[in-house]
Amino acid sequence: MSNVRTNINVNQLAIMNKKVLLYSLIAVFGLGTLGVASVSAAGFGFGQQATPEEIASRQTSMFEREASLLGVSVDVVKQGWTEGKTLQEIATANGISLDTLQQKMTAERDVQRTAHLQTLVDQGVITKDQMSARLLVEANHTQTPRGQHRGLGGMGMGR
């Protein structure tokens, strides 16, 4: 009688083990498929997937902006980038001091900021008065000593 009971228990155990294995495989396969779909939709964590043309265009634009900022050729910037140099290191190697680089970057940022806000005015998103007020806020913000933060921080909320 105990042999019969042992055989049944062994058989039941084998069936249970197969069910557990099957359910585990289904769960792993399901999560794996969901994970691949999520990564594919998100572009491997870098936002939306960019086409090769968009990637090349962005990189080319970056090289051109940095070359213009430094007053050097695009090839000089590319070479520095290839060697893993920072923009500051490329600037220093080309006789541009940190202070001069910061002044140029601030001026470029001001031009971009004004153009961005002007677009918002042109599109009717904000008024000219709101643009002027925002430019004052941002000008004051750039003069705040480092390490002093106001407001909520992040996402442009009172930095």
Location of structure tokens 């806000």 = 117
The answer to whether residue 152 is domain-embedded is no
What is the structure's pLDDT at 83? 96
Both 91 and 101 in one domain: the answer is: no
The reported pLDDT for the residue numbered 82 is: 96
CA separation for the pair 116, 118 (Å, rounded): 5
What was the pLDDT predicted at 29? 54
Integer-rounded Cα radius of gyration of the chain:
30
Whether 158 is in a domain gets the answer no
Residue with token string 């265009």:
57
| Domain enclosing residue 88, as ranges | 50-95
Stated pTM of the model: 0.53
Structurally, the chain folds into a number of domains equal to 3
Q: Are residues 117 and 90 in the same domain?
A: no
Same-domain check for residues 61 and 102: no
Q: Are residues 37 and 2 in the same domain?
A: yes
Residues 63, 101: one domain?
no
Tens digit of each residue's pLDDT, the chain (159 residues): 555 555 556 666 667 666 665 565 565 555 554 444 444 444 444 557 889 999 999 999 999 999 999 999 999 999 999 999 999 999 999 999 999 999 999 999 999 999 999 999 999 999 999 999 999 998 887 665 555 544 444 444 444
Phi-psi region of 96 (alpha: psi -120 to 50; beta: other; left: phi over 0): beta
Give domain status of residue 151, yes or no. no
Q: Are residues 30 and 54 in the same domain?
A: no
